[in-house]
Structure 1
Amino acid sequence: MASSSLSFTVRRQEPILVAPASATPHEFKRLSDVDDQDGLRFHIPVIQFYGNHPSMAGRDPGKVIREALSRALVFYYPFAGRLRETEGRKLVVECTGEGVLFVEADADVSLEQFGDALQPPFPCLEELIWNVPGSDGVLDCPLLLIQITRLLCGGFVFALRLNHTMSDAPGLVQFMNAVAELARGAAVPSLAPVWAREILEARQPPKVTCLLREYEDVAGTIVPFDDMVHHSFFFGEAEVAALRKRVPPHLRNSSTFEILTACLWKCRTVAIGAAADEEVRMICIVNARGKAGLDLPAGYYGNAFAFSVAVSTVGKLSANPIGYALDLIKKAKSRVTDEYMRSLADLMVLRGRPHFTVVRSYLVSDVTRAGFEDVDFGWGKAAYGGPAKGGVGAIPGVASFYIPFRNGIVVPVCLPGPAMDKLVQAMNRMIGEDYNDAKDQQPHGNTFIASAL
């Protein structure tokens, strides 16, 4: 994994605002009622590592990307504006054309020094994506911050911080690809951006027809943040095969994501030691793009997902085999239909845009197919592309990304030390002897179950 002991110096230039390259409309654009819920009112960091590329010799990534960004903002001009809050906590973008924050920097480190297995947490992350003072508010602040840090080897780090109310992962990758295409010489992005946030605005009158248990008011506290430990769990072919053997025949067609999520939910519940009669929740981010009846157009770059939740008592989840958790997760995902998304928008308006419940909840987001690592500014694909941190959301310790790594998936987890020890033990028991048998049959036998970071 990336060396957490690695230390280096970053010399930053003064931050600037990059505005659209030509005039853009000054107007107010409403976010959708899915966009502006409480659980998305934070900034989310993404980081990309790029190596040196012979064809780009003599070209400065800072200049190339800055100029491409300015051109891209002509098409994505809402990103150059600022959020305002109106009646009922409704968020709108005032398209002012002020621009996005842009920082150029140089680091006395090469890409090779980060190690050959780049994954969160990254050393000196706060230096690679500097929190410009006064820039991280939700309202009246830049919606994007981008830092380009040149490395000694000729490569660079592209770090981005996004106000999550503006876009989800597919929407952000769409924007990043637009910048990348223009950096490589395109005249216009190959996919034109579409606003169309009215599709996910509440109906008149609002009418919630689906049960959305992810927004229930739940008494209690979240896991305390004392003595927090980070671990990364790797699931390659052998680990997934071992888990799949535990799945009952009628659920064998489950996706890898569903199986890993069931395993994590069951093992984490055992680790945190909640009472048997308490309810625990596993929240899965479910993409609504392509849902029949919703008709989100190609080029839509807003938030288009639901926090679908599976709920169980601790006792049932702990006592039953993995198929019990897996069945609940599959049912939770299947509930996300066009009507579910419309009910979600309606609920936001009726209840003041609440945060999803975090009490005895865990949230997972699969970015293995988001395409971050494929974004090419001219220096080829990223050595690593994706979340800058292992957790999701503004509240640490209650969520994880599923991140692609080699031929498998890495799941970073954060828990108090004693609970993490129990989680590692539970994960290893879940993999069991079948893992050792499968690993012996792998062509590349260098897999691991859990690795301290």
Structure 2
Amino acid sequence: MAPIVLRNTYTIVPAEPTWTGPYPLAERDQVGTITHVPTVYFYDKPSESFQGNVVETLKNSLSRALFYFYPMAGRLRWLPRGRLELNCNAEGVTFIEAESEAELSDFNDFCPTPEYEKLIPQVNYKNPIETIPLFLAQVTKFKCGGLSLSVKVSHAVVDGQSALHFMREWGRIACGQPLETVPFLDRRVLWADEPLPPFESPPNFDHEEFERPPFLIGKTDNVEERKKKTVVAMLKLSKSQVEKLRSRANASKYADPARGFTRYETVSGHVWRCACKARGHSPEQPASVGISVDIRNRMQPPLPRGYFGNATFDVVAASTSGELISNELGFAAGKISKAIKNVTHEYVMVGIQHLKIQEDLSKFQDIHALGSTEGPFYGNPNLGLVSWLTLPMYGLDFGWGKEVYVGPGTHDLDGDSLLLRDQNEDGSLILATCLQVPHMEAFKKYFYEDI
């Protein structure tokens, strides 16, 4: 792969003065993944109708977008007890201009590889958090005239839905269009400052996401597992394969006849079972899968349109490898479905209240696990499987045409997986998964043979 040369690095600030001051975060913003999440867009050579300069177009429109989404131009800072606060100080975001002798075709299947890493802005978490931009972008021009646009977005500030809201509006501004949805910036709707009102029937507080995940039997930590080399695969399921899995799951005694299992529940159950097989667990081995649930429409009332922040809630489905493998697919799908159904308004508020009373939130934050042998949730015998199925990922146009591919950046945590729609084929899905090297080939085998 041809080297990538960094030409310029810019700091982009809001185009006009914005509100400045401390911006309290909701509890959900401060736990889980508070590092940056990478996404990469690839574009063909800009169409002839585009007369502008790619870099200047991106920089100018980004500056204007930050006026509306000004929290993105701020910085995090630590508070006592492992808490975080957002300082809206308009210090700006990082924009990098790069070029390469590589061709777009060199990235063929767009599977995240070490080469990808060079397309993505790097963040050094050893630096004080107050100095780290919340949003970084890198445009890389290829020899063929094509280009990539990669972004890294702080998950402490936004979830996937809000990050893509920002990207869509950035694109609209670049094309000279008005905002489609003004961001709703007030996060107090997800605070739990006051004691919760009494519930008619208190929700079952089964918040396994706050507990330590299971380790391999005989182990007291996951030190050895986290040291093992991993590999990433992008595995496609055709529409017919997805429907075949759903039909099998919905024909089981575990399915709700009135509703049936969703694509996500079905495919996640399939992935969970295949991972247990590929990892060679003993039947009594506990195994969990972490699930991220969008709560925007689960709250009472629903969150305002354009809510800009973290509006997902993590839940856990738990079982043993023996149960998962010996039972039919519907058993695994049912475990996942039940965990998702638990996420009601009351369940979320009790979970937020639980975080509120914690003496220290550090143990719930992934940034403290970087380079260490503790946490996060992923790693044998567990999985994290995030759905991008409903995210408005595709069709991002800055004036030179829509992307030819968009997908996740690199990820190297064992069990870290994403499920996304295939943008080229209606109904097909793509599983982006990371497993230990010795387990990947077996996983691929079961993934397709067990359909």
Relative to the length of structure 2, the TM-score reads 0.86
Give the Cα separation in 2 of the matches to 1:424 and 1:176: 33
1:102 aligns with 2:95: yes
Q: Equivalent residue of 1:85, what SS?
A: strand
Q: Shift of residue 218 of structure 1?
A: 4.2
Identity percentage over the alignment?
Answer: 26
Q: Equivalent residue of 2:189, what SS?
A: helix
Give the Cα separation in 1 of the matches to 2:418 and 2:116: 17
1:232–1:410: 8 Å Cα contact kept in structure 2? yes
**What residue is the counterpart of 2:120 in the other structure?**
129
**What residue is the counterpart of 1:48 in the other structure?**
41
1:41–1:138: 8 Å Cα contact kept in structure 2? no
**What residue is the counterpart of 2:23 in the other structure?**
29
1:203–1:342: 8 Å Cα contact kept in structure 2? no
**What residue is the counterpart of 1:148 in the other structure?**
139
Question: AA paired with 2:162?
Answer: G
Alpha carbons of structure 1 residues 114 and 30: separation in structure 2 relative to 1, 3 Å: same
1:343-387: CA deviation from partner (whole Å, max 9, x where unpaired): 221122223334374463211111133122222111222111231
Q: Equivalent residue of 2:132, what SS?
A: coil
Question: AA paired with 1:236?
Answer: S
Q: How does 1:349-428 map to 2 (within 5 A)?
A: 349-351=356-358, 352-353=360-361, 354-355=363-364, 357-358=377-378, 360-389=381-410, 391=411, 396-405=413-422, 406-407=424-425, 408-428=428-448
Structure 2 residue aligned with 1:161, among 152, 163, 181?
152
Give the Cα separation in 1 of the matches to 2:279 and 2:429: 23
2:4–2:101: 8 Å Cα contact kept in structure 1? yes
Of 67-76 and 45-54, deviating more is 45-54
Give the Cα separation in 2 of the matches to 1:218 and 1:284: 13
**What residue is the counterpart of 1:343 in the other structure?**
350
Structure 2 residue aligned with 1:17, among 11, 28, 35?
11
1:372-430: CA deviation from partner (whole Å, max 9, x where unpaired): 222211122211123113x4xxx711211112223211112222233223322322331
Structure 2 residue aligned with 1:201, among 182, 191, 202?
191
Question: AA paired with 1:247?
Answer: A
* RMSD, aligned α-carbons: 2.3
Alpha carbons of structure 1 residues 358 and 424: separation in structure 2 relative to 1, 3 Å: closer
**What residue is the counterpart of 2:368 in the other structure?**
none
**What residue is the counterpart of 2:218 in the other structure?**
none
Question: AA paired with 1:364?
Answer: L
Give the Cα separation in 2 of the matches to 1:403 and 1:245: 20
**What residue is the counterpart of 2:212 in the other structure?**
217
Q: Equivalent residue of 1:374, what SS?
A: coil
Give the Cα separation in 2 of the matches to 1:93 and 1:370: 25
**What residue is the counterpart of 2:241 in the other structure?**
239
Structure 2 residue aligned with 1:72, among 48, 65, 73?
65
- In the alignment of these two chains, the number of paired residues is 417
Question: AA paired with 2:436?
Answer: P
Structure 2 residue aligned with 1:303, among 302, 310, 326?
310
1:13-45: CA deviation from partner (whole Å, max 9, x where unpaired): 2322111111112211011100111x2221111
Q: Shift of residue 150 of structure 1?
A: 1.8
**What residue is the counterpart of 1:111 in the other structure?**
104
1:39-60: CA deviation from partner (whole Å, max 9, x where unpaired): 2221111111111232444422
Of 325-334 and 124-133, deviating more is 124-133
Relative to the length of structure 1, the TM-score reads 0.86
Q: Shift of residue 110 of structure 1?
A: 3.0
Give the Cα separation in 2 of the matches to 1:148 and 1:104: 5
